[in-house]
Amino acid sequence: MGLIKLLPWIIIIVVALVYFSRQKQRREKEQMEEELCEMRRRLEERERNRDVASSGEMAQCPHCGTFFPKNEGVVKNGKLYCSKKCARLD
């Protein structure tokens, strides 16, 4: 009756295989969720950037011609510059 002696080992091997495959599945799931989270974050960031750009909150610097968000600009003589350096040099 060699099979009876082998049975506990077979059970142990099967349990171990199930355990490892579940762990692998869980890891893959976690990785997928992480990637999904990252994708969502990037999408939100892009949406935010587009909102700023499309809502007319961008301005062009009269000195260097760079486009920048209006709320980050520097005002000098009623003109909006991208940086203090441009405001000073213009």
Amino acid making up residue 89 = L
Least distance to Zn ion, CB of residue 32, Å: 43
CB of 81 to Zn ion, least distance (A): 5
Regarding 87 and contact with Zn ion (CB under 5 A), the answer is no
> Which residues inside 48-77 make contact with Zn ion, applying CB under 5 A?
61, 63-64, 66
b/e 47-81 (16+ beta carbons within 10 angstroms → b): eeeeeeeeeeeebebebeeeebeeeebbeeeeebb
Distance of closest approach, residue 55 Cβ to Zn ion, in angstroms = 21
Please tell me whether residue 8 adopts helix, strand or coil conformation. helix
CB nearer to Zn ion: give 42 or 85.
Answer: 85
At residue 68, the 3 state secondary structure works out as: strand
Query: Residues 7 to 36: which contact Zn ion by CB under 5 A?
Result: none
- Where do contacts with Zn ion occur on this chain (CB under 5 A)? 61, 63-64, 66, 82, 86
